[in-house]
């Protein structure tokens, strides 16, 4: 049971990182990124391939973060001028193209055979039998660092500028600020976080192939942001915990309900998770948390 709990908490950490990245891009910046799983996948492959080639895992992780951030910035330059609907379609198309290239490109990514033998960071440091626990601590540390940075960013002048570009980009342009530059930076920072999450995914499983990545990763991230409260980093982390434990905890239904097969269990699990999320949103329509605002904004709203 302890092993299962450690594995589940590791999945919570990965989901929280993906949710925090989307919360920055969509929750704060208003940039709909349906191609989130593509950037996550790219981070996993960059880190995995570099590690297999002998690069230290932490160095590979840093390169993956920089690489995904750079590609995110380039894609943002091309697409963020589009409206929300078209931006969502473009990012989804980009991610699917990337997945297909990785799936059928055998020379570099090994195609559907995948990449195996990926070494974890600090693997030799942990006592025998403590590898998964040590990796969980590393993943939780990554979540804590990203959460702290994003909380500081949300309360900074840049964070207020990001929210302003979401709410009224015309006013931002009138004040002499470049909406495009702000959105490119937001996409790049979110891409770096997705590169981190994808790298940790590769390190945790020690093997990656294209079947591990798909739109379901994007769906989980959107659920985390919607249930957690758009713009609330604290709520996203809480909802990632709730979502993963609902998904994983429902596996035990097969032991509680006699005659329940694997196919029925899969359908019932998704149904129960959906019902649970709907109930949560009925009683908490704004999610677990609310978007942080400046003290001046709170004082102004309290007067009215």
Mean pLDDT for 39-44 is 97
| 268 contacts: CB under 8 Å, gap ≥ 6 | 250, 253, 260
Mean pLDDT of the chain: 88
Pairing, β 207-208 against β 115-116: antiparallel
Classify 206 as helix, strand or coil.
coil
Which pLDDT score is estimated for 285?
80
DSSP 292: -
Question: Which H/E stretch holds residue 165?
Answer: helix 157-167
Is residue 122 left, alpha or beta, with left meaning phi > 0 and alpha meaning psi from -120 to 50? left
Which pLDDT score is estimated for 253?
66
Which pLDDT score is estimated for 254?
63
Which pLDDT score is estimated for 255?
63
How many percent of the chain have pLDDT more than 70? 91
CA-nearest of 233, 218, 199, 188 to 80 is: 188
195-245 pLDDT, tens digit each:
999 999 999 999 999 999 999 999 999 999 999 988 999 999 999 998 898
Q: Is the pLDDT assigned to residue 73 strictly greater than 80?
A: yes
Which pLDDT score is estimated for 13?
97
Which stretches of 82-226 are assigned E, i.e. beta strand? 115-116, 207-208
Which pLDDT score is estimated for 302?
41
CA distance 155 to 159: 6
142-156 pLDDT, tens digit each:
999 999 999 999 999
Is 33:91 a contact under the CB 8 Å cutoff?
A: yes
- Taking the alpha carbons at both ends of the chain, their separation in whole angstroms is 53
């Amino acid at each position: 049971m302890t092993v299962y709990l450690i594995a589940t908490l590791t999945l919570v950490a990965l989901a929280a990182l993906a949710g925090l990245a989307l919360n920055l891009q969509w929750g704060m910046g208003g940039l709909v990124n349906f191609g989130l799983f593509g950037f996550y996948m790219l981070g996993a492959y960059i880190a995995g391939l570099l590690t297999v080639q002998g690069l230290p895992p932490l160095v590979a992780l840093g390169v993956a973060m920089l690489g995904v951030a750079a590609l995110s910035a380039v894609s943002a330059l091309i697409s963020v001028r589009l409206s929300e609907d078209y931006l969502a379609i473009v990012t989804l198309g980009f991610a699917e193209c990337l997945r297909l290239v990785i799936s059928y490109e055998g020379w570099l990514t090994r195609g559907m055979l995948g990449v195996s033998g990926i070494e974890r960071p600090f693997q030799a440091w942990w006592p025998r039998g403590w590898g998964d626990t040590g990796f969980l601590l590393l993943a939780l540390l990554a979540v804590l660092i990203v959460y702290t940075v994003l909380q500081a960013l949300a309360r900074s002048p840049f964070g207020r500028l990001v929210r302003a570009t979401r709410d009224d980009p015309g006013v931002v342009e009138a004040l002499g600020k470049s909406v495009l530059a702000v959105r490119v930076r937001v996409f790049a920072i979110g891409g770096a976080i997705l590169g981190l999450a994808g790298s940790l995914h590769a390190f945790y499983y020690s093997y990656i192939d294209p079947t591990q990545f798909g739109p379901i990763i994007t769906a989980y991230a959107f659920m985390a942001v919607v249930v957690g409260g758009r713009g609330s980093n604290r709520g996203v982390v809480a909802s990632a915990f709730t979502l993963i434990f609902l998904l994983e905890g429902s596996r035990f239904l097969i032991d509680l309900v006699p005659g329940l097969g694997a196919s029925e269990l899969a359908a019932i699990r998704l149904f129960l998770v959906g019902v649970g999320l709907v109930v949560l949103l009925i009683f908490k329509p704004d999610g677990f948390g609310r978007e942080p605002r400046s003290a001046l904004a709170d004082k102004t709203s309290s007067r009215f």
